[in-house]
């Protein structure tokens, strides 16, 4: 939009025409003093613009002095009037979000009037002192700084790049992280997301194409840190956990840094730094969890302007909502998240009228939002796949479906919730798992309809049906996937799991064996093979396979627990206890491991310690049959596990 012209001065003759009194004019407010940079504009720029628009912060130009701002004045007026800058997507909702980057209407008008009146610099004596931004890490000396082993070189190209860099974390024991600070260096990092990988899957992908890291978004096998979303964008500053709620960083975990990079005209070395600040103690009992709402059945026709997805969930427990994180790609348009309380009261939790993939982040409320049991949470995301969407990667538009690439689409909403009790937490975790399975089925069915001869899609659908308990439905898709790609370790592994559930042990073992042959360094495939060997009554072979898995990944909690079960059954109680304890240390919320450890401790005559672990297992999983049985036995006087 062009700036308005300054009012033209009226001639003297106009004022006294024909000697008549001038016609009455509408009552208008007298304009305020003409704004100047030093007195009126500089305070706005220093507060809202310069934190990003200064050297080393990733913005494309600096805005620190009069000449900087004057040279970009027209662009700044357009960007602030449209509220594209400062980058802040949500409308105002109660109780408000922490760290809102929003100009007031008065600030926007002040800047516009300054430009329209000629953009005067003003009296130097009115210029406020430039803020003193920290030169080093903003939170002081970090406890640990992680950097890539070698930089990734971003080559010139026309499309954005999404690259995952795998950072090894040198810890001798588990730690709790209270804050993360990110430095992009000189790289053009648009935003970054921190994921954790305890499976070594990312490590296996690292460098497979001859360059550090690997391409893509949402790497398979990674997780968000214990109920937290850790994301950075220019101007964000340190990402700090709520008071008393640090997240656990397990020893042996890899940190996977998902980077959105903006290529330029010359190669750029990408070597960001991540600073970790540890907490002195463990988190409070009321640790948050991430609950996901989403749709994976996204199929947007070319040209569609208002394609919509929806999801809803009725909270089965009382909970507090700390923050939320919405996610879509370039076609995202509007987002609305609402809560309807049991008494019928409706309230907006989030409303974004114009989504921007470039400025996504999580939004934390200034105080928790109380959501009683029976509250209905609903989400509605719309997408614009028309030629009028300037962010559309395809011109002319193409059909777009769900997927991990930036040119695919997503529709996810993460809710950071604090349930009132361990039992309530277990209920939400179980619901989240069931919902994820249902969403996977819907998404996989869509992918197979669109591309019925793609082995990965067939494997995804077959395994999703099996996770949903529909083994007969899933097997034909796995068989077809293996016919098309006999060298797929994943398909063999999924087929082995399905056959194991049908108690077809010889066939299951053959598929697990083949999966391990095809991927001999995959600790989880070897673990699955070991578990199947144990089910087939071959404990020595099973123990050998589990020890092999632990040789690759000593921190695989499931393998420690399964090996403990074999040792316990073989009469090696003390050796079993070592592995059970290690499983619980590695995975404190692993209900089965707590139950197994409790049973072994009971056998060792350590009744009080056994009770503590069995009760913990039931807190985590109130329906755990083995823990219930162990508790009944221990409740009898002198009872022991048998």
Q: Is the pLDDT of residue 23 over 70?
A: no
Alpha-carbon torsion 454, 459, 462, 463, what sign? negative
- Residue given tokens 């604090």 in the structure block: 418
412 has which bridge partners?
A: 294, 327
Give CA–CA dist 549/569, Å, rounded: 20
Long-range contacts from 392-400, C-beta under 8 angstroms, 24+ separation:
392/330, 392/331, 393/159, 393/330, 394/302, 396/302, 397/302, 397/303, 398/302, 399/299, 399/300, 399/301, 399/302, 400/298, 400/299, 400/300, 400/302, 400/331
pLDDT in tens, 33-72: 899 999 999 999 999 898 888 886 667 789 999 999 999 9
Length of the chain: 642
CATH code: domain 289-419 is: 2.60.120.230
Residue of 13, 31, 30, 33 lying closest to 22 (CA atoms):
13
User: Is residue 412 within a helix (H) or strand (E), and if so which, with residue range?
Assistant: strand 412-419
Q: For residue 637, what pLDDT band results from cuts at 50, 70 and 90?
A: low
Please determine, looking at this structure, whether the domain spanning 428-635 carries the CATH number 1.25.40.10.
yes
Give CA–CA dist 500/464, Å, rounded: 16
Most confident of 86-95, 222-231, 483-492: 483-492
Q: How far from 465 is each of 325, 441, 442, 473, 495, CA to CA, in Å?
A: 28, 6, 10, 6, 12
Please determine, looking at this structure, whether the domain spanning 144-278 carries the CATH number 2.60.120.
yes
Contact yes or no for 289/428 (Cβ under 8 A): yes
Q: Where in the chain is the domain with CATH 1.25.40.10?
A: 428-635
Structure tokens at 393: 């990667």
Residue 59's pLDDT is what?
75
Residue 525's pLDDT is what?
96
pLDDT in tens, 121-169: 999 999 999 988 877 888 999 999 999 999 999 999 888 888 999 999 9
pLDDT in tens, 163-218: 999 999 999 888 999 999 998 888 888 788 999 998 878 888 899 899 999 987 76
Give CA–CA dist 591/421, Å, rounded: 16
Q: Where in the chain is the domain with CATH 2.60.120.230?
A: 289-419
Contact yes or no for 256/223 (Cβ under 8 A): no
CA atoms within 13 A on the CB side of 231: 20
């Amino acid at each position: 939009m062009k700036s308005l012209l300054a009012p033209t001065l009226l001639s003297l003759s106009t004022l006294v025409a024909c000697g008549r009194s001038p016609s009455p004019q509408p009552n208008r407010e007298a304009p305020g003093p003409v704004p100047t940079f030093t007195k009126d504009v500089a305070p706005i720029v220093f507060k809202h613009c310069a934190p990003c628009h200064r050297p080393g912060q990733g913005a494309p130009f600096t805005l620190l002095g009069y000449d900087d701002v004057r040279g970009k004045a027209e662009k700044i007026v357009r960007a602030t009037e449209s509220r594209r800058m400062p980058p802040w997507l949500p409308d105002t909702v109660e109780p408000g979000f922490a760290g809102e980057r929003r100009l007031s209407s008065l600030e926007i008008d002040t800047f516009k009037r300054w430009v329209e009146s000629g953009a005067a610099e003003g009296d130097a004596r009115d210029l406020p002192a430039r803020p003193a931004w920290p030169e080093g890490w903003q939170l002081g000396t970090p406890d640990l700084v992680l950097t890539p082993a070698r930089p990734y070189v971003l080559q010139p190209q026309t499309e954005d790049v999404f690259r995952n860099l795998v950072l090894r974390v040198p810890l001798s024991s588990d730690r709790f992280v209270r804050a993360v600070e990110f430095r992009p260096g000189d790289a053009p990092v648009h935003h970054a997301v921190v994921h954790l990988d305890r499976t070594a899957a990312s490590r296996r992908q690292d460098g497979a194409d001859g360059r550090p890291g690997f391409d893509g978004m949402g790497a398979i096998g990674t997780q968000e840190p214990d109920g937290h979303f850790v994301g950075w964008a220019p101007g964000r500053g340190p990402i700090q956990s709520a008071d008393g709620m640090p997240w656990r960083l397990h020893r042996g975990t890899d940190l996977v840094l998902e980077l959105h990079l903006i290529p330029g005209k010359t190669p750029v070395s990408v070597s960001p730094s991540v600073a970790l600040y540890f907490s002195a103690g463990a988190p409070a009992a009321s640790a948050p969890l991430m609950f996901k709402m989403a749709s994976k059945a996204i199929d947007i026709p070319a040209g569609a302007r208002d394609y919509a997805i929806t999801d809803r969930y009725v909270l089965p427990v009382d909970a507090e909502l700390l923050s939320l994180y919405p996610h879509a790609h370039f076609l995202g348009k509007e987002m609305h998240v609402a809560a309807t309380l049991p008494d019928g009261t409706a309230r907006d939790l989030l409303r974004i009228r114009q989504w921007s993939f470039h400025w996504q982040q999580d939004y934390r409320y200034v105080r928790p939002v109380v959501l009683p049991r029976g509250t209905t949470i609903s989400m509605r995301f719309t997408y614009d796949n028309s030629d009028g969407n300037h962010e559309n990667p395809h011109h002319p538009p193409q059909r777009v479906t769900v997927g991990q690439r930036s040119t695919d689409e997503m529709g996810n909403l993460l809710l950071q919730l604090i349930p009132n009790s361990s039992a309530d937490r277990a209920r939400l975790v179980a619901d989240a798992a069931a919902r994820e399975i249902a969403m996977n089925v819907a998404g996989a069915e869509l992918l197979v309809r669109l591309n019925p001869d793609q082995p990965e899609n067939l494997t995804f659908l077959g395994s999703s049906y099996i996770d949903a308990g529909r083994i007969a439905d899933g097997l034909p898709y796995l068989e077809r996937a293996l016919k098309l790609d006999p060298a797929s370790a994943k398909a063999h592994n999924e087929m082995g799991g399905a056959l194991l559930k049908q108690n077809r042990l010889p066939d299951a073992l053959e598929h697990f064996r083949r999966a391990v042959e095809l991927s001999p360094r995959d600790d989880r495939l070897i673990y699955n093979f070991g578990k199947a060997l144990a089910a087939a009554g071959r404990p020595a072979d099973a123990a050998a396979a589990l020890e092999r898995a632990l040789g690759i990944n000593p921190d695989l909690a499931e393998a420690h627990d399964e090996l403990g079960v074999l040792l316990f059954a073989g009469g090696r109680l003390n050796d079993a206890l070592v592995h059970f304890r290690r499983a619980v240390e590695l995975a404190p919320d692993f209900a089965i491991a707590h139950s197994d450890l409790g049973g072994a401790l009971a056998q060792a005559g350590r009744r009080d310690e056994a009770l503590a672990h069995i009760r913990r297992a039931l807190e985590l999983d109130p329906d755990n049959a083995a823990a219930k049985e162990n508790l009944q036995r221990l409740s009898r006087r002198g009872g022991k596990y048998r």
